[in-house]
């Protein structure tokens, strides 16, 4: 019996959730597990709770079943947190975790201290939560729908297998998902390369506002709420912009900051090789991976940006 099946056996009412502002790995892992349970565990009630997901992931089976609202009357035998290192990152759905009889966490964030749930599978060396999830599943019980979810998450969090977390095992698992008959070229184009006009306008703003530091090794940018409103943009329309900044020739680390609807400021950090931005994000209450991390600040964006850039400069030295 697989490790995942062993955790699911005898559970009749299961909740699945991931981090706030769900990305492709979070959505892929949650829906991959959802479809796995529906296919292989007859009679089990399973609910997926996430904040509204980006429309580019609507093609994944089960996306229309995702619940966005919290119901205080719902309780579960098992609550499974995916791609999430901290209960606060579950948002309002963290209350289900607190009330559940059993809890399970499957995550690949280096900032997860493994005390999050009753049972934790934490492997920071994995390219994605989806890759880790696959290793816990019974491979004979995976179908095309599940494979699409897993592949989508792996593609998203590995930057189409270009980040340092990509290993030969990552590629082998991706190959197995491809062998299931998924339309992998369309998935890659849809979730990684295809952009809306609004997303391209926000990328232009981020680039136009960018400033350099550390002799061109750091590129950082702040996009204001006014600029977002002028383009009728939402926070999701800035996804990927920080990676574009990092891809600039000579840049080792990039930082993007923009305002959330509630007034806080989202900070995204990217780096290459040995430059650890997760430790920097952690100092502001955030976290993530060594080369891809984030945090939220409450005020003084320009001042906080200076602090972050200064920390990266020290990291580079």
Domain match, 130 and 237 both: no
Long-range contacts of 310-313 (CB under 8 A, 24+ apart): 311/280, 311/283, 312/213, 312/214, 312/218, 312/253, 312/255, 312/269, 312/271, 312/275, 312/277, 312/280, 313/213, 313/214, 313/218
User: What is the mean pLDDT of each successive set of 10 residues along the chain, which is 317 residues long?
Assistant: 94 96 95 98 97 94 97 96 91 94 94 84 95 98 98 94 91 98 97 92 97 97 95 91 95 96 93 90 88 91 96 93
Domain match, 100 and 238 both: no
Domain match, 168 and 202 both: no
Domain match, 68 and 213 both: no
Say how many domains are in the chain: 2
Secondary structure, 3-state, 126-158: CCCHHHHHHHHCCHHHCCHHHHHHHHHHHHHHH
| pLDDT at position 259 | 92
Compute the chain's Rg from CA coordinates: 19
| pLDDT at position 244 | 93
CATH number at residue 244: 3.10.310.30
Domain match, 177 and 245 both: no
**DSSP state letters, 154-182:** HHHHHTTTTSTT--HHHHHHHHHHHTTT-
Q: What is the number of H-type helices and E-type strands within the chain?
A: 12, 11
From 141, 175, 193, the end of a domain falls on 193
Taking the mean position of all CA atoms in its chain, how far away is CA 263? 22
Give, in degrees to the nearest 5, the angle at Cα 194 between 165 and 57.
Answer: 70
Among the listed residues 86, 87, 88, the one whose alpha carbon sits nearest the alpha carbon of residue 110: 86
| pLDDT at position 110 | 80
The helix or strand, by DSSP H or E, that contains position 34, with its residue range, turns out to be helix 24-40
| pLDDT at position 66 | 98
Domain match, 7 and 76 both: yes
Domain match, 17 and 97 both: yes
Domain match, 31 and 149 both: yes
Residue 90 corresponds to which tokens in the numbers above?
Answer: 């579950």
CA-to-CA dists, residue 114 to 91, 123, 298, angstroms: 19, 10, 27
| pLDDT at position 40 | 97
Output phi, psi for 13, to 5 deg: -140, 105
State the pairing for strand pair 287-289/292-297: antiparallel
Distance CA 43, CA 244 (A): 46
CATH number at residue 89: 3.90.1640.10
From the number of C-beta atoms within 10 Å of its C-beta (0-12, 13-18, 19+), residue 41 rates as middle
Residue 152 corresponds to which tokens in the numbers above?
Answer: 């989508």
Domain match, 124 and 251 both: no
Domain match, 112 and 258 both: no
Residue 135 corresponds to which tokens in the numbers above?
Answer: 């290793």
State the pairing for strand pair 218-223/211-213: antiparallel
pTM comes to 0.88
| pLDDT at position 164 | 82
From 130, 158, 193, the end of a domain falls on 193
Domain match, 165 and 259 both: no
The sheet with strand 292-297 has its strands ordered as 211-213, 218-223, 253-259, 265-271, 292-297, 287-289
In which domain, by residue range, is 257 found?
Answer: 197-316
| pLDDT at position 222 | 97
Distance CA 71, CA 296 (A): 26
Domain match, 179 and 297 both: no
């Amino acid at each position: 019996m697989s490790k995942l099946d062993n955790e699911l056996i005898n559970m009749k009412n299961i909740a699945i959730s991931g981090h706030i502002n769900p990305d492709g790995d979070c959505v892929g892992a949650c829906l991959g597990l959802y479809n796995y349970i529906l296919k292989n565990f007859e009679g089990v009630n399973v609910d997926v709770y996430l904040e509204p997901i980006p429309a580019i992931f609507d093609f994944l089976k089960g996306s229309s079943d995702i619940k966005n609202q919290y119901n205080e009357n719902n309780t579960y035998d098992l609550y499974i947190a995916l791609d999430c290192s901290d209960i606060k990152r579950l948002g309002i759905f963290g209350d289900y975790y607190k009330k559940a009889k059993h809890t399970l966490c499957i995550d690949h964030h280096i900032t997860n201290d493994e005390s999050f749930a009753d049972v934790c599978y934490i492997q920071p060396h994995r390219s994605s939560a989806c890759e880790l999830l696959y290793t816990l599943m019974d491979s004979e019980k995976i179908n095309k729908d599940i494979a699409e979810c897993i592949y989508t998450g792996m593609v998203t969090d590995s930057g189409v297998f270009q980040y340092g977390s990509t290993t030969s095992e990552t590629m082998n698992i991706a190959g197995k998902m491809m062998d299931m008959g998924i339309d992998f070229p369309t998935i890659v184009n849809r979730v990684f390369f295809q952009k809306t006009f609004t997303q391209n306008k926000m990328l232009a703003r981020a680039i136009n506002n960018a400033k350099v530091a550390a002799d061109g090794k750091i590129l950082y940018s702040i996009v204001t709420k006014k600029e977002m409103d002028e383009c009728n943009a939402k926070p999701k329309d800035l996804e990927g912009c920080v990676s574009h900044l990092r891809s600039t020739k000579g840049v080792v680390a990039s930082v993007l900051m923009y305002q959330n609807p509630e007034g806080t400021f989202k900070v995204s950090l990217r780096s290459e090789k040995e430059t650890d931005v997760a430790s920097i994000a952690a100092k502001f209450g955030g976290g993530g991976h060594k080369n891809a991390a984030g945090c939220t600040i409450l005020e003084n964006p320009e001042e906080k940006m200076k602090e972050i850039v200064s920390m990266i400069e020290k990291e580079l030295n």
